[in-house]
Structure 1
């Protein structure tokens, strides 16, 4: 499959130019028509087609305070409506789209290479794909020169190398405000940044949303989510890219709206240090998303040191007191219980990433915030399961789970939260009703004949995946009951 667009020329423009000049002269009372200006207009139009023109001369005519301004509060009801599938259109010039694809080739090798990279291509990189300016359209309104880039880690590389263009995207609505003063502090109904997740490895296309719903129902800070269809026009008209999940960015409105103060340190750990294992401390792996210019990592450094402090075995009460002072352990244990009941395969305990830590200024404690949940709500992967009993978990690799679970006080709190989750946020009947509601909502967009780019091999894959979600909910109820009655 070729992803390069064929450059289309427009000889008809010359005809239109001739007709325009002819009609203009015929209708004009002024015999001295300014043909230079008219020609410049045509030249400018041709430059736009070839994407070499300076495109800073425009008016943001759709701009209103409620829809585009930083002064508006985030409109969650508009952007993250639970019971709707909304549509986003993105228009990118051909040249800019090609630059995005060329950059992906440099980062991850040849498109559709199935892991066989082009000679000299980099296939393991910490570098993000490039942003380009694009126009975003929603409900008849335009957002201007929005920063758009591909996003993701292994899922991005795997999707690209499999030859599927259903890639996740990140939108930053004022990324290019220095180049385009007209979009200074541009927002999308109060949101600066949003992610469009492609639901990689999820034939139900529900996991990202349902997992977030469950975390929120359990009383945890988590991103809002909603279903959207995505169309991208990169030169040949709008192309259906499929059903996506729109996700609120933690470093944008999550800490603004779900905490009373957004001035604390926000980290997105990734790497060995993200395990909190002894001897792994590395500031570079505690990636700061706020206060980036301040070289103060004392909160996460203290957390790592206290987790592994010898007082854990010699004076457990002191160890708990010190740990409680830097980490909101109630929040963490509630998260751990929820995450383990639903089974999540791409986060702490299996992988050293996909969570945030926010130092809440109100308490001075780090709060755990889940992220990237498309691998949740399914049976065992990656050589084992995040089971409910962590007695045998490798402490040297995942000390935050192992050490808390093997402390009697913390384990009792964890067990209480496990019971609360299975009776409330992940109650079998409740979650199966949610699966039924969401699957009916998205099925026409997920399995239609014009399904666009997809991970489904057939429409039957979708229903089979829904059946799997229901069976998983039943099995987790049985597993929790067995664990609590041990």
Structure 2
């Protein structure tokens, strides 16, 4: 028989080997998994500006600049922080931002880099697509960056984002905001899988009002994944429930939605579901339940329809190239006789952006948190309405408004962020030959009485006063801005919609109703609304955006791989111990 000493020595060796496997192999697995998403740190860096050089045939680049609205991909090579990637695709991107630049003397277009367009196996440390946004209509160059920071702080899954200085064939192009595209990679990183249904609503059905039980009637839902299996999605059931009643929690991640709407309302970002264009958001269905993903914030801080923009996103002309574009009218756009542009849509050229003084308006600062829509009604935004008309959900919405206003969207916190951003990018702002504002305007956004921090302080103060009932926002019967009534009685919840009439129907915010007799078909040539546009008559803390802490790059896919590897190693150890014991009982002859 083998002595007990030998048996125990073998067992000790197996245990030691197991401990080594436990410590080493899972770490290797996590590292390998993190390589799949390591673009988080290798590309998006808050502490320094990423450098990107695009090498492209001069004729192809000239064609892009001459025909930007065609958004045609051209082959190029890109060098990012010294790492060169061949055989990638580059094109312009955008809606009104694209056409506005196309109709100006500027060539500062937002760009899309597609790493896997020609080779489906290629990526940049896991990232397949990258947007380079030109900070259109934002002289501070920080609204979108700040908005995503707020969304992340509130536990929402938001795209990675950081500043990137772009050159083309070695020539300065400009300082852009690099933003991760919401796609299968984003879903796998934030949700642990990408097997669900991703939608990017924009157009017919994007308000999520019930039309019919036929998915074909919702042409604006725009599925981005699993397009061939839409019959397996719960999207129509979700739309039915939020419009006609039912078990909303069966189809909606309520906590996720409330966090989003509270933060979006604090940011006064109305180029969104809450505005007249009902777009710039994603819906992701996982296991039959929908969560919302934030998108596109260059017009946050009251920049959409709050006193300065000319035409909403998606309503600018797009069917022409820069080379043969028609002459555009200067100054304010002229509507047919007898028709007026809605209040807030003054004929300002958006290319110049809102000046920082214009963000400090009473209309934006005192935007109503209980009727948080612009250019439409709550009834015409059933997803939001279904949440706010529920007393329990309304209380949680108020809680999140208080949280964002006291912890994150404060003057002190926003000032700290803008100053850090300025320290990182100021020299690039100064060197940027194509910037749409001035360095002085950028610095005004960093600090001072007209800065983003000043707006955040005033806005959060207004939110807290509205929550306490000290400030009640009422609508006038004229086209004037909303009036803050400091002497009004506190609102009772949840029947607190400030625009409801006796019939329970909400009125459109003053100044946003179409003029009497307005006919969209009479818009100037090339300025008609896009096809399909119809004027509008899990437990808390466990949302997908909270799966990883802000300071950690923890990949849920890697964690699952590590767990499986650990359990497998344990199983092998137990088999080995069992074999040794059995061998010991039989002995040697």
**Shorter-chain TM-score above 0.5:** yes
| 2:283–2:292 Cα contact (<8 Å) kept | yes
CA distances 1:415-468 after superposition (whole Å, capped 9, x unpaired): 0111111122323311211111112221111123xx221101x32221223342
Whether contact under 8 Å (1:146, 1:175) holds in the other structure is yes
Out of 379, 389, 392, the residue aligned to residue 370 of structure 2 is 389
**2:126 alignment counterpart:** 190
Report deviation, 1:357.
0.5
Q: Is the 8 A contact 2:410 2:457 kept in 1?
A: no
Q: Are 1:79 and 2:18 an aligned pair?
A: no
Counterparts in 2 of 1:70 and 1:479: CA distance versus 1, 3 Å: closer
Structure 1 position 480, deviation (Å): 1.4
CA contact (8 A) 1:100 1:149 kept: yes
CA distance in 1, matches of 2:106, 2:197: 37
Deviation at 1:98, TM superposition (A): 3.0
SS of residue paired to 1:195: strand
Say yes or no: does 1:436 pair with 2:419.
Answer: yes
How far residue 200 of structure 1 moved from its aligned partner, in angstroms, is: 0.7
Deviation, 1:71, is 7.3
Counterparts of 1:140-151 in structure 2, within 5 Å, are 140-151=82-93
1:100 Cα deviation after fit: 2.2
Where does residue 405 of structure 1 map in the other structure? 388
CA distances 1:33-61 after superposition (whole Å, capped 9, x unpaired): xxxxxxxxxxxxxxxxxxxxxxxxxxxxx
The alpha-carbon distance between structure 1 residues 354 and 416, as it changes in their structure 2 partners (threshold 3 A), is same
Distance, in Å, in 1 between the alignment partners of 2:93 and 2:194 is 25
**2:159 equivalent to 1:226:** no
Instruction: Answer yes or no: is 1:348 the counterpart of 2:262.
Output: no
**CA separation in 2, counterparts of 1:419 and 1:70?**
35
Q: 454, 465, 486: which is aligned to 1:482?
A: 465
Distance between the aligned counterparts of 1:462 and 1:74, measured in 2?
A: 31
Aligned-partner Cα distance in 2 for 1:73–1:438? 24
Structure 1 position 172 matched with structure 2 position 101? no
Find the counterpart in structure 1 of residue 329 from structure 2.
none
Q: In the alignment, does 2:54 pair up with 1:134?
A: no
Task: Note the C-alpha offset of 1:394.
Answer: 1.3
User: Under a length normalisation based on structure 1, what TM-score does the superposition of the two structures give?
Assistant: 0.72
Q: CA deviation at 1:70?
A: 12
Instruction: Show the counterpart of 1:253.
Output: 185
Deviation at 1:297, TM superposition (A): 6.6
Distance across 2 between alignment mates of 1:391 and 1:202: 22
Shift of 1:348: 0.9
What is the alpha-carbon distance in structure 2 between the residues aligned to residue 264 and residue 472 of structure 1? 38
Q: Which runs of 5+ in 1 are unaligned?
A: 1-68, 108-127, 178-183, 312-318
Question: Secondary structure of the residue that 1:293 maps to in structure 2?
Answer: helix
Match of 2:38, SS? Answer: coil
| Match status 1:99 vs 2:63 | yes
Q: Secondary structure at the match of 2:195?
A: coil
For 2:54, the equivalent position in structure 1 comes to: 90
Indicate whether 1:242 and 2:174 are aligned: yes
Q: Superposition pairs for residues 19-418 of structure 1, below 5 Å?
A: 72-104=36-68, 107=69, 129-177=71-119, 185-233=121-169, 238-279=170-211, 282-296=217-231, 298-309=233-244, 311=245, 319=246, 322-350=247-275, 351-361=277-287, 364-378=288-302, 381-382=305-306, 383=344, 385=364, 387-390=368-371, 394-418=377-401
Q: Deviations over 1:465-485 (max 9, x none)?
A: 334212201111211111111
> What is the DSSP-based 3-state SS (H/G/I as helix, E as strand, rest coil) of the residue aligned with 1:344?
coil
C-alpha separation in 2, matches of 1:225 and 1:86: 11
- Counterpart CA distance in 2 for 1:290 and 1:381 is 32
> Alignment partner of 2:78: what SS?
strand
Tell me how large the CA RMSD over aligned residues is: 2.2
Between the aligned partners of 2:226 and 2:372, the Cα distance in structure 1 is 38
In structure 2, do the counterparts of structure 1 residues 333 and 101 end up closer, same or farther at CA, with 3 Å as the change threshold? same
Q: In the superposition, relative to structure 1, how do residues 211 and 297 fare at CA in structure 2: closer, same or farther (>3 Å)?
A: farther
Deviation for aligned residue 1:152: 1.0
Distance in structure 2 (CA, Å) of the matches to 1:291 and 1:398: 26
SS of 2:405's equivalent in the other structure is helix
Per the alignment, residue 444 of structure 2 pairs with: 464
Task: Give the Cα separation in 2 of the matches to 1:204 and 1:404.
Answer: 33
Q: What is the TM-score when the length of structure 2 is the normalising length?
A: 0.60
* Partner Cα separation in structure 1 for residue 190 and residue 455 of structure 2: 30
* Residues in 1 aligned to 2:205 and 2:255: alpha-carbon distance in whole angstroms: 22
TM-aligned CA deviation for residue 257 of structure 1: 0.6
* Larger Rg belongs to: 2
Q: Which residue in the other structure is 2:436 paired with?
A: 455
Distance (Å, rounded) in 1 between the aligned partners of 2:39 and 2:221: 31
C-alpha contact (below 8 Å) 1:220/1:369 kept by paired residues: yes
Q: Secondary structure at the match of 2:227?
A: coil
Structure scoring higher RCO (CA < 8 A, sep ≥ 6) equals 2
CA distance in structure 1 between the aligned counterparts of 2:434 and 2:218, rounded to whole angstroms:
39
Measured after TM superposition, the shift of residue 202 of structure 1 is 1.1
